[in-house]
A and B are shown apart, each in its own frame.
Chain A
Amino acid sequence: MIEIDHVSKSYNKGAVRAVDDLTLTVPSGEIFGFLGPNGAGKTTTIKMIVGILKPDGGTIRIAGLDNRADALCCKAMTAYVPDEPEIYERLKGIEYLNFIGDVYGVSGGDRQKRIEHWLEAFELSRAVADPIQTYSHGMRQKIILTAALMVKPKVFVLDEPMVGLDPRSSHLLKEAMREHCDGGGTLFFSTHIMEVAERLCDRIGIIHRGRLAAYGTMAELRDQAKDKASLENIFLELTES
């Protein structure tokens, strides 16, 4: 599970508060959708969860462990997919997967089985021996997803994972996300696609100007809103300036 406790982060020496006293919990077995307008603080929150950014204050716990004090244990339990597929372009796809397998300590047998399965599913088998610099945006996204799925972590943290994916891959990913959480894993992801969040998420958080504007199941969010027609309406109502 992920516990975010009074976490804040600001830039420009406090001039811009990207995340302001954020508190939320994502229990095991749950898909959590994180929504918000551009610049609301979604990516900053996600980067703090995976340890790329250091919070100014507050704590983040993964499976009960502080992600700064027990950083290595937390990282070993977490797989992260960024919003921009910036990876080592000069490595071949398979070399990147092996690198991630090596550093996460995935055994040879598991690695072989999982890589073959996900490469086949994402139709990357033919390209995996080519350098990543020859991949399209979507292919890069898929190789990062394959690496994350190969690790089979307890916690998935995905930043806008559907961007750049073709409908088939997007569908497969959603199935994998559900399966992961049904097996007791935790999934935290950000998205701008309201339909995906509405259909897939067990709970949703809407962040606006660094603060949590709404948090709960779809039913709870509907109760909080005046216009209950759809998540999009709720989102627009909550994020109007």
Chain B
Amino acid sequence: MRPTAALVKAALNSNFGWSVVRHRLFVQKRDRWMLPLIALAVVGVVPTMVLYFRLLGAAFDMLKSLGQEQALLTLAVLAGQLIILVFGLFYLISTFYFSRDLEYLVALPLKPSQIMLSKFAVVLINEYLTMAPIILPALIVYGFKKHRGPGYWIIMPLTYLLLPVIPLAAAGLVVVGMMRLVNIGKKKDLLIIIGSLVLIAAALFLQFGLSRAAGTSDMDAQKIIAMIGSPDGLVQSIGRRFPPAIWATRLLYDGLLTVSGFTGFVLFAGLSILLFGGLMAGAQRLFFGGLVGLSERSGSPGRRAKAGAMIKVSSGRHPVRAIFLREVRLMNRTPIFLLNGVLGVLMVPVILALTLSSGKPGDDSAVILRLMTSAKPITGVLVTTMFMIVCATLSGVASSSFSREGRKFWVSKVIPVDYRQQVLAKFLHSMAIALLGITSAAAVLVFRFHLGTGQWLSSLALALPITAFLTSLNLAVDLARPLLDWISPQKAMKQNLNVLIAMLLDLGFLFLYGVAFIALGKSGLSLAAALGILAGLGLGLASLAYVLILQFALRRYPSIEA
């Protein structure tokens, strides 16, 4: 096998752990209990997917009535590429520069571009999987509803395969350049975080700009009529800031055998190849420059403290405080954990607020929320409470708490600290980050949506115990099966199945909580009584879950083999 092919194969195997999974399932015969759980999670997603397909079908019908059904394709392509651009950035930085196998790979007789190619392949495959549930349904619905022939069904997967290349390669070029630049400084980690935030802000700005461009609110009636009058008027309107979406639409809509479709293919594939080639060329020149310094020593002996200088020892902290401090330091000093965890919970409410905001006073979501609250106060409280809980708990901090320790988990096994105290420290750390999310959500609700004091305080009182309950639940999910053998920190958080399982459980619980909320609203009870019952329910659940997680820790910790 040629070196590049062997490297790509090894990288994919290492990332997805096929060999490990096979070994665990068929040789060690462990983890078989996971199969029904995964099947259950898949079955749990089915109703949502059915709903999504129906929604897309309705969107197709509506667009068809305007003669603009191909705009569904443009929207799908555009959505897919924007998702990759925003979320791919974290992933690219992590995979390109923070994988632990890099120090072995650079010592092998391989070109930087070969190593970069293997890493790119890993990200690409992951993006195919990430995009699949969002983009493929749109392409399938269009194909069936439009009664497209075999040509479409051949071109569709081809287009899907090309779809992530342009945004990923473009983002990759920016990341490689940024890492080469930040590596010249002493505060590399800080620069990586700042650089990543700048890139994310730029991507969000682009997304915001594109969504505004796609909107029709700034058009007068004549322009709208002209747009609808042209068969691809809406396609042009949506895709005018991002032409690859138009090229892909032409390829899918007209097929390869027409001039328009073939031109779309040449442009779409051509730009993909050009950017990919640019990334490989950039990698050849810049990759090692950005990489080498990440693992090198931060200081020469001259920079190190003078011998005999006062060594600062602590005066004996309580073990829970010591472990809490360890958790804080490890999270805040690992750029990938910090970006996904702390900065994630702070930014998600702001991103949601930006997404919900069209910038027009007439259709402002703040007005909708106010109207909803004044019509039925309990519904308004439900919406704002859910918003706070989602912003606090879906970060994956609690559901990766044990996994993040990785191969250092042996320390937690040998230290003379009661497992319950260790879990308490992790619970407090996860709650501290969840509180940041709640605070950020509350700030958005107050300053962006002009929420009244009574409503945000009620929501806070309801959200806190439920967040504590879900934090214990998420810790339990990770404690049940911690992912300790990872080579990239990204794998401990974003690619951790525990985070996904916990998220599905959280959403399932929130659905039931919402049902209970609405049922209480309809019961005829006063608002204060209904909220009191919900707060009591939350406190009861939080207390029960906390007691159970401590008991579970006593049972589970001894059998985790680090």
Contacts and interface: CB of A to CB of B under 8 A. Distances in A.
Interface of A: 11-13, 15, 47, 50-54, 68, 71-73, 75-76, 78, 80, 82, 84, 86-88, 90-91, 94-95, 97-108, 111-112, 115-116, 119-120, 125-131, 133-135
A105 to B, nearest CB: 7
B341 to A, nearest CB: 14
Contacts of A90: 329-330, 333-334
Task: Name the residue among B298, B301, B415 with the largest chain A CB count within 10 angstroms.
Answer: B415
A78 B559 CA distance: 20
Contacts of B51: none
Contact of B329 (A91, A102, A133, A134): A91
Nearest to A9: B561
Given A126-B304, A127-B304, A78 B29 contact: no
Contacts of B304: 126-127, 129-130
A94 B329 CA distance: 13
- Please provide the 3 A-B residue pairs with the shortest distance between their CB atoms, ordered closest to farther: A102-B322, A75-B416, A76-B416
A126 B305 contact: yes
B54 interface: no
Interface in B285-338: 295-299, 301, 304-309, 311-319, 321-323, 325-326, 329-330, 333-334
Interface of B is mostly: loop
A14 B365 CA distance: 61
B326 A94 contact: no
A152 B258 CA distance: 81
Given A88-B326, A88-B330, 8 more contacts: A11-B28, A13-B29, A71-B558, A90-B333, A98-B313, A98-B317, A99-B326, A103-B415
Contacts of B325: 99
Interface stretch (B56-64, B105-113, B386-394, B403-411): B403-411
B307 A86 contact: no
A116 B311 contact: yes
B35 interface: no
B313 A108 contact: yes
Contacts of B308: 125
B309 A125 contact: yes
B417 interface: yes
Contact of A78 (B297, B323, B414): B414
Contacts of A97: 313
B311 A102 contact: no
A134 B297 contact: yes
A52 B29 contact: no
Contacts of A112: 311, 313
Contacts of A103: 319, 322-323, 415-417
10 contacts: A78-B414, A88-B330, A90-B329, A91-B326, A98-B322, A106-B316, A108-B315, A108-B316, A130-B304, A131-B298
A116 B307 CA distance: 10
A31 B84 CA distance: 59
Contacts of A86: 407-408, 410
A101 B313 contact: yes
B413 interface: yes
B191 to A, nearest CB: 16
A71 B420 CA distance: 13
Interface of B: 27-30, 295-299, 301, 304-309, 311-319, 321-323, 325-326, 329-330, 333-334, 407-408, 410-411, 413-418, 558-559, 561-562
A130 B316 contact: no
Contacts of A108: 313-316
Given A76-B416, A82-B410, A88-B326, A119 B311 contact: yes
Query: B308, B313, B323 — which one has the most chain A CB atoms within 10 A of its CB?
Result: B313
Contacts of B296: 134
Most chain B beta-carbon neighbours within 10 Å: one of A68, A98, A112: A98
A103 B319 CA distance: 5
Contacts of B334: 90
Nearest to A84: B407
A50 B414 contact: yes
Contacts of A125: 305, 307-309, 311
Contact of B316 (A80, A101, A129): A101
Nearest to B334: A90
Nearest to A91: B329
A79 B325 CA distance: 22
B319 A102 contact: yes
A73 B417 CA distance: 10
A87 B562 CA distance: 13
Contacts of B314: 98, 101-102, 108, 111
A95 B329 CA distance: 10
A120 B307 CA distance: 8
A75 B415 CA distance: 6
Nearest to B331: A90
A78 B317 CA distance: 20
A90 B312 CA distance: 18
Nearest to B411: A87
B558 A129 contact: no
A11 B296 CA distance: 37
Contact of A128 (B28, B301, B311): B311
Nearest to B299: A130
Contacts of A15: 27
Contacts of B321: 102
B408 A94 contact: no
Contacts of A78: 414
B412 to A, nearest CB: 10
Contacts of B29: 12-13
Given A50-B414, A52-B410, A87-B408, A68 B333 contact: no
B192 to A, nearest CB: 13
A237 B296 CA distance: 44
Contacts of A126: 301, 304-307
B297 A12 contact: no
A54 B558 contact: yes
Nearest to B330: A90
B561 A54 contact: yes
B305 A128 contact: yes
A94 B317 CA distance: 14
Nearest to A112: B313
Contacts of A102: 314, 316-319, 321-322
A209 B3 CA distance: 37
A113 B422 CA distance: 28
A154 B314 CA distance: 23
A51 B27 contact: no
Nearest to B407: A86
Nearest to B406: A86
Contacts of A101: 313-314, 316
B313 A115 contact: yes
A90 B334 CA distance: 7
Contacts of B306: 126
